[in-house]
Chain A
Amino acid sequence: MNFFRHHLLIALAACASVVPHASAQAQSAEPDATTSIVRVNVTNQRYNFAVPWQKQRPTSRRGLGAVLKGNKVLVTAELIQDSSYVELEIASTGRKLTAKVEAADYEVNLAVLVPAEDPGVFFDGIIPLEIAEPAKIGDMFEVWQFESNGSPVSTNVQLQRAEIGRYFLPDAYFMEYEVSGLVQYRSGSFTLPVVKDGKLVGMLLSYNSDDQIADVLPSMIISRFLDDVANPPYEGFPNFGIQYSVMLDDQFRSYLDADQYSGGIYVSSVIRGTSAAASDLKKGDVILEIEGQAIDPRGNFQHPDYGLLSLSYLIKDTARVGQELKVKVLREGKEVDLLVKLQRKEPGDYLVDPYLFDRGPKYYILGGLLFQELTIPYLELAGDDWQNRGPFKLVYAAKDPDTFEDEGRKKIVFLSGVLPSNSTIGYEGLSGLILTKINGRKILDIKDVDAAVKEPVDGLHKIEFTDFPHMIYLDAAMAETDNTQTMPIRYRITDLKRLD
C-alpha cells in the first residue's frame, strides 16, 4: 500500500505546475517549511519471512518530518518501518544528523525521531511546530515540502470532510481529514506535513491526483499519540473487540424488536481477549448508544463538527485505555445499560500476530526442519490475495483462532519448510504443517520447541502435526551435527533460533 501511495505522488509531478514559495526567510519568527520541517532519509530492511534468519535487500525511503519542541521529529511510522538507518537533513543546507526512533505506533502510523548523536548546530534556527487544534470543515491548510534544491514549496488545500478511514495497516481505522487541492509533488516523499496558521494540523497520507483529494492524518490523533509518548509507559489506542452488522433490514429489526428505534447495530461477534469480551456485552446485542451518542443503523453517529462518523471514533480515537464507556444496548427487546472498560489487545496478544515490524519473526531450526510462529506477514508471502492463495490450514488458523486458543496455544507453531540435510532426508516436501507435540511435549509457542528438543527419547526426536503425515522422527545426534555443521557452513545460518 505504501508504495502505491508513493507512486501516486510521483505521477502527479508530471502534470503539476511548479509554484515555489515566495521566499524562504530563515530569520522569520513565523514558522515555514525552512524553519520547521526536515528531510528524513531512511534505509529500510525487512526480515524475510520465508527465510527468517535473513533480512531482505535494503531499500530507501525519503520523507518529511515536522520538528517539534525538544528536538523531536514527527514522521509517519510507515516511513521508518524496519529501519536500519535513519538520517535527518536540513533541506536548504544539506546538513545531516543521524537519528533513531524514540517511539512508533504502526496502527496510528506515527513515530517520533530523536537525534542519535550530539545534534551540535543542527537545530539552530529551527522553530518547532506546535500541534493545531481540531479543524473545521472549510478550513484552509498549507501542505509543506521542498524543491529538490531545498527551497520551500507551499500548497493550499481545503478541508472538505472527515471520515474514519484505513491507515496503512489492514485493520487500523482512524479519523482522516479529506482535503482537496492541487498538491504539487516536489521530491520523493512518503508523507508531507500539513499546517494551519503555522501549526501542524496533520500529516498527508495519500493523494489521488485524478480527483485532487488527499487524506490527512489529523492533529487530534497526533496530539493523543504525543501525549501518550510523553507519559510512559506507552499505552496505545484501545480496541473494542466486536464485529457488527448493519441494521437496515426491516425484517431483521422486527425479529429483534428493534423496529421501534431508529438506529442500532447488531453485535455479530465478540472477539476474545478484548474490552468487549471482558464486559457484559454479548453477541446478539443491538448497540443503541455509546457515551450518550445515538448510533444509526449503519454504525455512525452525528459529530457536531464533522457530521456522520463511524462509532469507532467514539472508542479508538477519543477514548483511552482504562476508561469506562457507557453503552446502551437492546437485549431481548429490553434496553440495558452497560459499562465497557477499554483495554488494548497488543499485536503480540493475538494467536497470529497481525503485523510485525522492527524485529524478526520467531523461528527454530532443528537439523533442517524450520519451525516458525505464524504471523500475518508470513501469510502475506502468498501475495495480496493470501486469504485465497495462502496455505489453507494456516489461513484458517488466522481466521478462526478460537479452537486453537481453546487448546491453550499462545501461538501457532508450524513447520514452514525443510532445508535438505542428512537428518531431514525424506521430509523435503513437508511444509505448512501445524505442530502439536515434540517429544511428547505440547507446543504452545516457539519457546516450547526449544525446551522440547532438549529431551529426545532413545536418541530420536518425535515431531507430531495436526495433519498428514501426523508424525515424523529425526535422529537427535544427526540433527545436532546438521545444526552445528550443515546449517552454519552450507546454509550460512549463524542463528539457529530466534525466540524473542
Chain B
Amino acid sequence: MIKTLLRSVAMQLSLVVLSGISTGIAQELPLDEKTTSLGKQYTGIVRIENASIVPDFATPWNAGLPRGGSGTGFLIGKNLFMTNAHVVSDSNRVIIKKVGDSEPLLARILHVAHDCDLAVLELEDPSKFDDVEPLEIGDDIPKLDTAVKVVGYPIGGERISVTRGVVSRIDFLAYSHSAVDYHLTVQIDAAINPGNSGGPVIQDGKVAGVAFQGYSGDVAQSTGYMIPAPVMRRFLKDIEDGTYDHYVDLAVSDFPILNPALRRALGLPNNGQGIMVGSVNAEGSADGKLEIGDVLLEIDGYPIASNGSIDIRGEKVNMAEIVERKFAGDIINLKVWRDKKPLDVAIELKRFLPYLISARQYEQRPEYVMYAGLVFQPLDRNMMSALKLSNIEVRRFFGYYVADELYKELPEVVVLTTVLPDAINTHLEGYAGGIVESINGTNILRLKDVLPALDNEAAPKDFTVIQLRGQGRPLVLEKARVPGAQVRIMSKYGVREDHYVE
C-alpha cells in the first residue's frame, strides 16, 4: 500500500487537463517549441491522454465509469511510441500530442504488457512525426551515481518538463501496476511526478529507462523509479512476432541458506553458495524437476549466493534476472544439489497463470451470472478490491491460491458475491460472500459451469439447490418462481443481461 502509482494522482489531474482543452484556453497556452533548441531535442517526447472506462466489479453488468488520465510517451521507431501500460489501461480512446502542438492525434494501442507496465502505440496518421528522430534505447543498466534526466509532462504546468538526478539504487522490486510482478527496477532521485509516467529517463542521449512509479511525498522523498532498458528491450523482443507472450516463471520459492546447521544438513561446503528451494508449484515450469530441499547452486553458469543473488559483470542482481530475460520455451540450466550430490537440471520455461488471481487486471470485462438475484462471479483481485469479502474460505482461496496449490482443486473460484434483494431471495441475503461448491449436485469448478448446472433437469425437480463451501445449509429456490423474479430483478436493478461469460 505504501507504493502508489503515479497514475492515481494523474487521474485527478486529468480532469483539469481535459476541461482546460474543452474551454479552448489550452490551445492558446503552448508556445511553438520547435523554434527552441529544447523543443527540437524533445520533439519525440509526447503527451498521451487516455480516456478509459474502468469496470466496476461490484456491478459487473454495468460498463463502468468513464475516466481520463494523462502521461508521457516517446518515439522509439517509425510510428512507434512507448509508454507505460498504466497510462493507457482500460482505454477507449488514446490521443497523442506533440510537444508545443495542441492538436490531438488519434492513436492505437499495439501491445500492452501489464506485467511489466509497458505499452507501444501508433498514430493513425503519423505524418506529423515524419521528420522526428526516434529516441534510442540504451544498452544496459545505468551505473550507480551516474547522472540522468527525466523528461515529460508532469503536474505543475502544461509544457514539457525536465528534472535531473542520479541513479540511486538498482534493485529487483514490485511493479505496482499489476501488484504481483517483480522486475529489475532503477531508483533515481530526479523528481518524478504524476504525468511523468511513460516518459523517458535519459542518459548520454539515450533512453536509460521509463519513469513509472514513486512514493507519495509523505512516505519517502526523492524516490522515483524507472523501468530500465533491459526490461524495455525484452518487451520489444517479445512483441516482434506480433503477440505479447508475457513473462515466464520458474514457479518456485527459495529460502536463503544463512544458518550453518541448515548448510551442514544439506551437506553443502561452507562457501556461501546456494539457495534452498522452499516450495515448487504444481503445473509450474519446475514441477517434477525441482523438489523442496533442493539447493540451487548455479543458474545458466552463474554461481548463486546464499541470499539468491548472482554476479553479472560486477553487478549483484537477483538470480530471477536470468529467468526474466527468457521467453516461453527457452531452457534454463540449473546446477542443483540434491541428496548431497550435484545434479544438472534443464527446465523449459513457461508462463504460470494461477498467480493472476492476485494481479490487478485490465481490459477485462467482468464476468458474472445473475440468477434470481444471486450474482455469481469468479474470484480475482479486481472483484476482491471492489467487494472486500471477508468470508474465511474466500480469503483462503484468494490468499493461498498459489502457495497451497488450490488451483488444482478449483481452476476458477466462483463466489456468490451479491444478493439483489427481491421477494424470491429475501431469506438468502446473509449468504452473499461465500464460495459456490455445487449447484443442483454439479460441482462448480469455473464460472462456465454455473449456467449448465442451473439448467440441469436432474433431481430435485422443483428446486434449485446451491451449496456454498463451509455453509451447512443449502440455498434453495423454487424453480417455478425464478423466471418471474428474473424479469422483475433485471428491470428493477438495471441488469440488462443476466450473464456475461466468456
Q: Which residues of A contact B (CB under 8 A)?
A: 243, 245, 248-252, 254-255, 266-269, 283, 387-388, 392, 395-396, 399-400, 423-427, 460-462, 467-475, 478
Report Cα–Cα, A252/B470, bound state, in Å. 18
Contact B260 A425 (CB under 8 A): yes
Contact A426 B472 (CB under 8 A): no
Contact A469 B276 (CB under 8 A): yes
Contact A396 B396 (CB under 8 A): yes
Report Cα–Cα, A254/B279, bound state, in Å. 49
Contact B264 A473 (CB under 8 A): yes
Contact A426 B262 (CB under 8 A): yes
Report Cα–Cα, A478/B265, bound state, in Å. 14
Interface size class, chain B: 35 or more
The answer to whether residues A268 and B278 also contact, given A249-B427, A396-B392, A470-B292 and a CB cut-off of 8 A, is: no
Q: Which of A252, A400, A471 contacts B293 (CB 8 A)?
A: A471
How near does chain B come to A61, taking the closest CB pair, in angstroms?
34
Contact A427 B463 (CB under 8 A): no
Report Cα–Cα, A469/B470, bound state, in Å. 28
How near does chain B come to A478, taking the closest CB pair, in angstroms?
7
Contact B278 A469 (CB under 8 A): yes
Q: Which of B185-193, B249-257, B494-502 participates in binding chain A?
A: B249-257
Q: Which of B66-74, B87-95, B342-350, B473-481 participates in binding chain A?
A: B473-481
Contact A468 B259 (CB under 8 A): no
Among B255, B400, B460, which residue has the most Cβ atoms of chain A within 10 A? B255
Contacts of B264 in A (CB 8 A): 460, 473, 475
The answer to whether residues A252 and B257 also contact, given A245-B473, A388-B390, A473-B262 and a CB cut-off of 8 A, is: no
Q: Which of A266, A268, A392, A460 contacts B265 (CB 8 A)?
A: A460
The answer to whether residues A468 and B253 also contact, given A249-B428, A266-B473, A392-B396 and a CB cut-off of 8 A, is: yes
How near does chain B come to A259, taking the closest CB pair, in angstroms?
11
Contact B265 A255 (CB under 8 A): no
Report Cα–Cα, A254/B477, bound state, in Å. 10
Report Cα–Cα, A262/B381, bound state, in Å. 44
B399 contacts partner chain A, Cβ-Cβ < 8 Å:
yes
- A-B contacts, 5 of them at CB < 8 A, read A387-B392, A396-B392, A461-B261, A468-B255, A473-B266
The answer to whether residues A473 and B261 also contact, given A255-B463, A388-B390, A468-B279 and a CB cut-off of 8 A, is: yes
B236 contacts partner chain A, Cβ-Cβ < 8 Å:
no
Contact A426 B473 (CB under 8 A): no
Contacts of B279 in A (CB 8 A): 468-470
Report Cα–Cα, A425/B279, bound state, in Å. 21
Contact B278 A400 (CB under 8 A): no
Report Cα–Cα, A429/B395, bound state, in Å. 23
B465 contacts partner chain A, Cβ-Cβ < 8 Å:
yes
Contact A252 B476 (CB under 8 A): yes
Contact B403 A468 (CB under 8 A): yes
Report Cα–Cα, A17/B140, bound state, in Å. 82
The answer to whether residues A475 and B260 also contact, given A255-B460, A266-B473, A395-B392 and a CB cut-off of 8 A, is: yes
* In the complex, the 9 A-B pairs of residues with the closest C-beta atoms, listed nearest first: A268-B472, A426-B258, A249-B427, A469-B278, A469-B255, A473-B265, A475-B261, A426-B259, A255-B476
Q: Which residues of B contact A (CB under 8 A)?
A: 253, 255-262, 264-266, 276, 278-279, 292-293, 390, 392, 395-396, 399-400, 403, 424, 427-428, 460, 463, 465, 470-473, 476-478, 481
**Who on chain A is nearest to B477 by CB?**
A251
Contacts of A468 in B (CB 8 A): 253, 255, 278-279, 403
**Who on chain A is nearest to B463 by CB?**
A255
Known pairs A248-B427, A251-B477, A266-B473. 8 more at Cβ < 8 A?
A249-B427, A388-B390, A424-B259, A468-B255, A470-B279, A472-B262, A473-B265, A474-B261
The answer to whether residues A472 and B392 also contact, given A249-B428, A255-B465 and a CB cut-off of 8 A, is: no
Report Cα–Cα, A283/B427, bound state, in Å. 20
**Who on chain B is nearest to A267 by CB?**
B472
The answer to whether residues A249 and B396 also contact, given A255-B465, A426-B259, A468-B253 and a CB cut-off of 8 A, is: no
Contacts of A267 in B (CB 8 A): 472
Contact B470 A400 (CB under 8 A): yes
The answer to whether residues A251 and B293 also contact, given A473-B262, A474-B261, A478-B261 and a CB cut-off of 8 A, is: no
**Who on chain B is nearest to A268 by CB?**
B472
Contact A243 B255 (CB under 8 A): no
The answer to whether residues A426 and B257 also contact, given A252-B427, A388-B390, A468-B278 and a CB cut-off of 8 A, is: yes
Contacts of B390 in A (CB 8 A): 388
Report Cα–Cα, A395/B400, bound state, in Å. 14
Contact A423 B261 (CB under 8 A): yes
Report Cα–Cα, A475/B264, bound state, in Å. 9
Contacts of A249 in B (CB 8 A): 427-428, 476
Contacts of A424 in B (CB 8 A): 259
Contacts of A423 in B (CB 8 A): 259, 261
Contact B392 A399 (CB under 8 A): yes
How near does chain A come to B416, taking the closest CB pair, in angstroms?
16
Report Cα–Cα, A255/B261, bound state, in Å. 62
